[in-house]
Structure 1
């Protein structure tokens, strides 16, 4: 079962290494990991998707909470949230098939961000199923390269899980 963890951490060198090391030392696999600064430059948010049974997820959460750089950890899988991935995909695009590719891009509400003589780079955002479906739809044209961010997620509404959002914009 895949679980989505939202982890607020101190924005300092080595934090990502410690978090990733925790997973590797215990033999747990990270399905996806996205990290970036929050509205507070001293705090980063990690969105970690972990595949495992209830016992593994519980152990991962306990170990993460022990790390000194972890400010707050929330399993938001079952909470109302917005989750997205970003994909850049470079496909073969001879002039004869560009119209067909453009139709597919429109259907998926993606956009073309680069045009070269024989290829296009397409940018798409959405949930993993949408991104997978777009990739599969473009496969017959020949995929040259794919880059995906992994999932990022945010709770819906004004509340931050487990606490009221503070007035200073940090939520902490």
Structure 2
């Protein structure tokens, strides 16, 4: 079982996203992440789906998505250079002045932004790969145990123009 990514273009109509997610729940597929938003054409949504499955299951999912009338195009991101980024907010509470200084330093080093803060809490924003965000969560859990809150959105992705994806 490995993590896979699919991007698709679908009609921007009521119920289309529910139909796509229904495909996953109806077949007991493991849907890890789903993000959707309007594309350059407001009548078309771009959907990025992260899932875990074996080759056979993955092929079934792609075929079923391709059969959907509302789905215009399905793109398999397996084995091609792509850019995938995930938005994550990380709140650290119960901070001393020393903790706050460390949070600002870490934010600079780790490529995050401190987007809000108060006397004893800070809110960081990270727009990085899912793996890098996983690493950030692990680090912050070890540095500030029991004091972090995490909000993660699904990854969005597009094919790389050059051979350098991330």
TM above 0.5: yes
Residue 30 in structure 1 maps to residue 34 in structure 2: no
Structure 2 unaligned blocks of 5 or more = none
Distance 1:33 1:143, change over 3 A: farther
Residue 125 in structure 1 maps to residue 135 in structure 2: no
Moved more, 139-148 or 108-117: 139-148
Structure 2 counterpart of 1:79: 80
When normalised by structure 2's length, the TM-score is: 0.90
CA contact (8 A) 1:94 1:118 kept: yes
What whole-Å deviation, never above 9, does each CA across 1:5-63 have from its counterpart, x for those lacking one?
00100011111100000000000011111111111111111100111011000110111
Other structure's SS at 1:151 match: strand
What do you get for the CA RMSD once the two structures are aligned? 1.3
Structure 2 counterpart of 1:46: 47
Distance 2:87 2:136 in 1: 12
Alignment of 1:83-102 (within 5 A): 83-92=84-93, 93-102=95-104
Deviation at 1:96, TM superposition (A): 2.5
What whole-Å deviation, never above 9, does each CA across 1:55-99 have from its counterpart, x for those lacking one?
000110111111111000010121111111110111123323111
Distance 1:2 1:96 in 2: 39
Query: Given the alignment, which residue of 111, 114, 117 partners 1:115?
Result: 117
CA contact (8 A) 1:4 1:77 kept: yes
When normalised by structure 1's length, the TM-score is: 0.87
For this pair of structures, how many residues does the alignment match? 158
Other structure's SS at 1:79 match: coil
Structure 1 unaligned blocks of 5 or more = 159-172
Other structure's SS at 1:87 match: strand
